[in-house]
Structure 1
Amino acid sequence: MAADRPRRFTFLLLDRFTMMPFAAAIEPLRLANRAAGKQLFDWRLVGPSGDVAACSNGTRIELDGGLDGEVAVGRDDVAIVCGGTEIAREATRPVLNWLRRQERGGAAIGAVCTGAWVLAEAGLLDGRRATIHWENHDGFAEAFPDIQLVRSVFVADGNRLTAAGGTSSIDLILHLISQAHGDGLTAEVADQLLHTAIRTDQDRQRLSIPTRIGVRHPRLAAVIARMEANLEDPVSPAQLAADAGMSTRQLERLFRRYLSRSPKRYYMETRLARARNLLMQTEMSIIEVALASGFSSPSHFSKCYRAQYGSTPYRERGTSSAAPGKAD
């Protein structure tokens, strides 16, 4: 890259993209220019319409161009896909072809929030490490089993960059600023953002279990972690209790006291939440979703699902697929 040329970021804004990850990616670039007193970075916004992109909160962003070459992406540039809701249907042929062209031209390719799904559809994450928002993790893992999916806030695998969503874009961009211009500038930018803890690619996306459930009890947290790691092949309450060094009755009391439900009920709700994500985010059959969530009987799965969500998996899948599917 020429020393006197700013590094350009091209943000591909897909329909219903999520505002927070996009803003969290572009603001550190602006602040780096301000702190350095010169233009280290510039950026362009493109989208399938070439005119305006609408994000999931209804805000509309004016674009600099479309996908037909109006905005050139150079060899030393970065192209970042900004995804959001119903991401599978945004992986259209024009979008995938545009991304492949940028990759062939030598640009670094990245994604924030659910944008990693589109990179995967384009074949640009094959053999790579990547991350995606935790809510989409299960569906992505089922759809793209050959990609090494991790739960980090961001991943920089060579010239493939993925950030999980929310404020994780800040950490990814700070990582790139640090690589190019050092830790001093990175610290200045983070300070301006009031981003007091710069995360690395080793940091996990989600809050710790004690923080999530609002209870700091080591054995309870250990049991819940075991449940979350065994959704497809559930562990019996008796085995969970034995492994945690307590009786089944003690485990029951622990859950009743802190979570107002039995271990069995909590486990069921966690498995059903996974099933719902898979129904909404994948094309897996109902029986495949049931098995992946620890149900051996489709009828039992349907009964439990309806009791939890007030609708059967079949109706839920029908509602989800009522919107236009992935286009060519």
Structure 2
Amino acid sequence: MDRKAKTTTPGSPLERPSAAGRSNLRRYAFVLLPGFSSLSLQAMWEPLQWAHSYVAVERHRNWLVSLDGRAVPTNSGIRQAVDCSLDDLAEVDAVVIIGGEDLQEPLAERLKSWLYHCRSQGWMIGAVDYGVVAMAQMGLLDGYSVTANLRYRHYLTEAFPHLSIENSLFEIDRDRFTCAGGVAGLDLVLEMIATDMGGDVADICLNHFNQDRRRAGHEPQRLPFEQGVNSASRKLKRAMAIIQDNLEEELTSDELADLVGSSRRQLERLFRRFLGKSPMAYRQELRLWRGRDLVLSTPMSITQVAFASGFSSNSHFSSRFKLLFGMSPREARLSGKRQPPMIRTIESGSSASL
């Protein structure tokens, strides 16, 4: 009895992408720095491995690499085995630096020398998390559009004012790419999969990992206290973005309302409804979070941090800092805590665990 030909839907296992052009797929090396985030690694590694397997490309096209070939500790203390050291790595097409804030000076110099060799070979070079800071310090991001996680972006803005630093999930600029880390790594790698293997493969990968959409690189990162504004009006979101992009400016509520096409009273109602604070209190919290990042990640004096964060005096900055984070800037620096156990909203004085 004749059987009817089976019909397939896009992405069905019965209809795999053509193997043609496999040799043009990029080969990636993930260089792990001590203290790296395993989430940032897996958000990129697993989708990439799955996509290569889906199009029947050999699984060992991508490599995990450490500076010396030894296992690398993550930020949670787990040791991640690797395939090889920098010196033993075969030719690849793209290098991804996953940082790690525990990079010591001798190893940093070795990594810098190796990355300059990568550049001379024409390989793409990218970074995630603290890797972006390391690349900036090595001069490998000059002249490129860059993004970084919020906790590093403020330091980069102060230390490298010539860099074009965006508030985005990821940036791909010619032979450089940077990513904010965390689940944004999935968005970056889906863009790479779409480029290497086609948008259909990227969409199938998206479904496989139970994500509803591919976020564009230019979409903004979320700030620590922006939860609950997804359903807010466009005017509120626009006002929040203007404040974030102009922290040094002393915009009044009236000026802000004019910029978003709203009345001052309407805009203040929106801020209080969705954020529980006025526009000016929201700006002050942003400035304090910026100051906290500078306190924890730079050698700047507290006075320098205060002025860089938009405060007119050290005493005002320190008092508001302690009100929000439960400790003074100096105490925060001495303790080395990156996540204070409690934060307080400036207007209400209530506490909430992070």
Classify the TM-score, shorter chain.
0.7 to 0.9
Partners in 2 of 1:235 and 1:4 — Cα distance?
54
Structure 1 residues 86, 240: closer, same or farther in 2, change over 3 A? farther
Mind listing any 5+ residue stretches in structure 1 that lack a counterpart? 322-328
Selected match of 1:118 from 134, 148, 151: 134
Match of 1:216 in 2: 232
| Counterpart contact for 1:210–1:221, Cα < 8 Å | no
Match of 2:89 in 1: 71
CA deviation map 1:168-223 (0-9, x unaligned): 22222222222232223222322222233122333333389975447625555454
| Counterpart contact for 1:130–1:162, Cα < 8 Å | yes
Matched, 1:314 2:330: yes
CA deviation map 1:115-141 (0-9, x unaligned): 111111121111011211233222222
Match of 2:160 in 1: 144
Partners in 2 of 1:188 and 1:103 — Cα distance?
33
Query: 1:46-61, aligned counterparts within 5 Å?
Result: 46-61=65-80
TM-score normalised over the length of structure 1: 0.82
RMSD: 3.2
Query: 1:226-245, aligned counterparts within 5 Å?
Result: 226-237=242-253, 239-240=255-256, 244-245=262-263
| Counterpart contact for 2:47–2:189, Cα < 8 Å | yes
- Structure 1 stretch 302-311 or stretch 253-262: which is displaced more? 253-262
- Aligned-partner residue type, residue 65 of structure 2: V
Matched, 1:246 2:264: yes
Structure 1 residues 303, 203: closer, same or farther in 2, change over 3 A? closer
CA deviation map 1:52-89 (0-9, x unaligned): 1111122211122333x1223x2x52111011456797
- Aligned-partner residue type, residue 263 of structure 2: G
- Aligned-partner residue type, residue 293 of structure 2: N
SS at 1:268 equivalent: helix
Match of 2:292 in 1: 276
Structure 1 residues 191, 309: closer, same or farther in 2, change over 3 A? closer
Match of 2:343 in 1: none
SS at 2:287 equivalent: helix
Match of 2:31 in 1: 12
Match of 2:17 in 1: none
Matched, 1:28 2:47: yes
Query: 1:99-248, aligned counterparts within 5 Å?
Result: 99-206=115-222, 212-213=228-229, 216-217=232-233, 220-237=236-253, 239-240=255-256, 244-247=262-265
| Counterpart contact for 1:228–1:270, Cα < 8 Å | yes
CA shift at 1:22, angstroms?
A: 0.7
Structure 1 residues 90, 174: closer, same or farther in 2, change over 3 A? farther
CA shift at 1:294, angstroms?
A: 1.5
- Aligned-partner residue type, residue 89 of structure 2: V
| Counterpart contact for 1:99–1:122, Cα < 8 Å | no
SS at 1:156 equivalent: strand
Structure 1 residues 96, 263: closer, same or farther in 2, change over 3 A? same
| Counterpart contact for 1:209–1:221, Cα < 8 Å | no
> How many residues end up aligned between the 2 structures?
315
SS at 1:165 equivalent: coil
Larger RCO (CA under 8 A, 6+ residues apart): 1
Q: Percent identity of the aligned residues?
A: 32
Match of 1:43 in 2: 62
Partners in 1 of 2:336 and 2:80 — Cα distance?
26
Structure 1 residues 178, 241: closer, same or farther in 2, change over 3 A? closer
Partners in 2 of 1:4 and 1:260 — Cα distance?
55
CA shift at 1:14, angstroms?
A: 0.6
| Counterpart contact for 2:67–2:107, Cα < 8 Å | no
Structure 1 residues 157, 253: closer, same or farther in 2, change over 3 A? closer
Partners in 2 of 1:238 and 1:56 — Cα distance?
45
CA shift at 1:95, angstroms?
A: 1.9
Match of 1:324 in 2: none
Partners in 1 of 2:270 and 2:26 — Cα distance?
55
| Counterpart contact for 1:17–1:55, Cα < 8 Å | yes
Match of 1:325 in 2: none
- Aligned-partner residue type, residue 81 of structure 2: E
SS at 1:92 equivalent: helix
Structure 1 residues 215, 40: closer, same or farther in 2, change over 3 A? closer
- Structure 1 stretch 155-164 or stretch 307-316: which is displaced more? 307-316
Mind listing any 5+ residue stretches in structure 2 that lack a counterpart? 1-20, 338-354
